[in-house]
Structure 1
Amino acid sequence: MLVFLKLGGSLITDKNKPHTPRREVINRLAAEIASARRQNPALQWVLGHGSGSFGHVEGKKYATRSGVRGHEQWLGFAQVWSAARSLNQIVIESLTQAGLPVIAFPPSCCIVASDARISTWEIGPLRSALANGLSPLVYGDVVFDTVRGGTILSTEDLFSHLAHLLKPDRILLAGSEQGVWADFPACTSLIEQITPATYRQMTGHIGDAIATDVTGGMAQKVKSMLDLVKSIPGLQVSIFSGEIPGLVFHALSGSTPGTLLHGEM
């Protein structure tokens, strides 16, 4: 079985304090992932993490996602790269100390985009890492772009591209929210399951609620994952909270916490 697991930026950093990792949380999550690996050594996974209060600060300042033109924006491009790399190193160290054979694949080094969509990514080395029992790690990062000059790709962008090539069985998105709320920001009604059909019915009622999620990206996250569910038979996606100790371990062990996205039964 192949699983993609993302540790959200709001989970592993303090979004209210620039460049502030939540080291205790990162270490706990690393321990849970390592425990899941010991329980099921045959399980393969691709790990990913967001940038949180690291890359997003500079990215917003220089509007890097929208494109890079001129000296000042290229300076910002480099600053986003540096911030994302700093957080990635912290995550790598924690995972390695937990005994996980993790190896990072920085997007800035191996991806070329076209208008913020991946156009070139040679994933042969990543396939080799999986084949040899290693845990590939990707993360939100800057990349060069043939249309925009440069841009930022999220972990969901990376997972979406990889999913079409590697065909994972499950995608686990661990963040700071318990799942997708039907009534954000009141957060009293959690949506347990979403399918392409039910999402079409929901959008008229809760589309605005999803769109105003604190991360600013829940709507796009749900839409992009549903696109994958529709195109990859049998794929299941769980959006859940990594704040609850043990939940990442249980998700890797087969449970479906939070909100489950899946195809029509």
Structure 2
Amino acid sequence: MTQTFKKSNADAGITVLKIGGSAVTDKNAKAGLAKEEEMRRIFKEIATFSGKLVIVHGAGSYGHTYAKEYGLDKGFHKEGFLITHDSVRLLNDMIVKGLRAESIPAVPLQPLAFSVCADGRIQSMFVEQIELMLDHGLVPVLHGDVCMDTVRGSCILSGDQSLPYVAAALSAKRVGLGSAADGVLDSNGQVIPQITPQTFESVKKHIGGSAGTDVTGGMLGKVSEILELAERTGIESCIFNANTPGNVADYLNGKTIGTRISRN
């Protein structure tokens, strides 16, 4: 299908967007349950963007529920490994089909097939195919997945960890995390406008976990991962509410919204 993206005012470089599992699934569900209306609206907003784009989506109730049940954040369990991977692939397939319905040339990428971890951290991830896809006008879509691990046997490779790895490898210009919250919130429920390495310790105590089942660290895990990205590469990120209509389109088309995470 011919791409019909509208003209964007964003930078000409690569944008990496994470769609949080909490934004498109019910993370309190005992099994995978998608927020289909939210998905469709988000996909329509993504279709307003015309630049090079990589999408990473969380696993939500399609992954975290099974990962917790089988203890996959602690080690290998053959049955749990297979069930969890099949479930997150189902969500990825649903998202890719929804994106294509909006004329977005989405391509599914299962991190299990091209990544190896060591004690829960990425040891290697082949990303050359992502660069080639972008050069040919495709939109790679990665997701939270199970992964082989040289220490544990297997582990959970969250989208929160894949996101900064891919962003750094591709020298991305912009990184956005669309969650189910307005940004990183303080103890009064107010958005913290900016977090830097210098301010992180003072705000860390305010940052909570996830409202639903999450074996990958919740909001604190997200902030820690992309703060490290900022320190290491200077790439800035924003955490914003993907469930607020217009936010995904606004971010993709150049606005800084929610909480900005930067080196200084």
Deviation per CA, 1:109-162: give whole Å up to 9, x if none: 111111112222222211110111111111000111111111110111111221
Does the residue aligned with 1:180 lie in a helix, a strand or coil? coil
Alpha-carbon distance in structure 1 between the residues aligned to 2:241 and 2:104: 22
What is the letter of the counterpart of residue 143 of structure 1? C
Question: 2:122 aligned with 1:106, yes or no?
Answer: no
Aligned mates of 1:164, 1:3 — CA distance in 2: 11
Give the superposition deviation at 1:217.
Answer: 1.2
| Distance apart, 1:211 and its partner CA | 3.1
The one-letter amino acid paired with 1:228 is L
Deviations 1:55-86 (A, max 9, x none): 11110001102111xxxx21001010011001
Find the residue that maps to 2:199 and give its secondary structure.
Answer: helix
**Secondary structure at the counterpart of residue 210 of structure 1:** coil
For 2:33, the equivalent position in structure 1 comes to 20
The answer to whether the 8 Å contact 1:173/1:237 transfers is yes
Secondary structure of 1:211's match? coil
- Does residue 254 of structure 2 align to residue 254 of structure 1? yes
Aligned to 2:152: 148
Q: In structure 2, how many angstroms separate the alpha carbons of the residues matched to 1:96 and 1:116?
A: 32
Please give the TM-score of this superposition, normalised by the length of structure 2.
0.90
Counterpart of 1:11 (choices 9, 16, 23) is 23
Q: Is the 8 A contact 2:160 2:221 kept in 1?
A: no
Instruction: Give CA deviations for 1:20-62 in whole Å, capped at 9, x if unaligned.
Output: 111111111111001222xxxxx11110100111111110001
> Which residue in 2 is equivalent to 1:238?
238
Q: Which runs of structure 2 are paired with 1:1-265 in the superposition (5 Å)? A: 1-17=13-29, 18-37=31-50, 43-68=51-76, 73-183=77-187, 186-187=188-189, 189-203=190-204, 207=205, 209-214=206-211, 216-233=217-234, 235-264=235-264
CA deviations 1:211-231 (Å, max 9, x no partner) are 345255111211111111111
Q: Distance in 2 between matches of 1:194 and 1:87?
A: 31
- Opposite residue 59 of structure 1, the aligned amino acid is A
Q: Provide the C-alpha distance between the structure 2 equivalents of 1:202 and 1:118, rounded to a whole number of angstroms.
A: 27
> Structure 2: 5+ residue runs without aligned partners?
1-12
2:7 is matched with which residue? none
Higher helix share: 1
- 1:238 alignment partner, SS class: strand
Structure 1 runs of 4+ aligned residues shifted over 4 Å read: none
Question: Post-superposition shift, 1:164?
Answer: 2.4
SS of residue paired to 1:103: strand
Determine what percentage of the aligned residue pairs are the same residue: 33
Read off the aligned partner of 2:97 and give its amino acid letter: E
Q: Hey, what's the Cα distance between the residues in 1 that align with 2:84 and 2:192?
A: 34
The whole-number CA distance in structure 1 between the counterparts of 2:209 and 2:163 is 23
d(CA) in 2 for partners of 1:242, 1:115: 31
CA distance in 2, matches of 1:160, 1:67: 24
**Paired residues of 2:93 and 2:108 also in contact (CA < 8 A):** no
Aligned residue number for residue 4 of structure 2: none
Q: Does the CA-based 8 Å contact 1:5-1:48 persist in structure 2? A: yes
Name structure 1 gaps, 5 residues minimum: 38-42
- TM-score, normalised to structure 1's length? 0.90
- Once the two structures are TM-superposed, the CA of residue 232 in structure 1 deviates from its matched residue by 1.1
Q: Which amino acid aligns with 1:29?
A: I
What amino acid does structure 1 have at the position aligned with 2:19? L
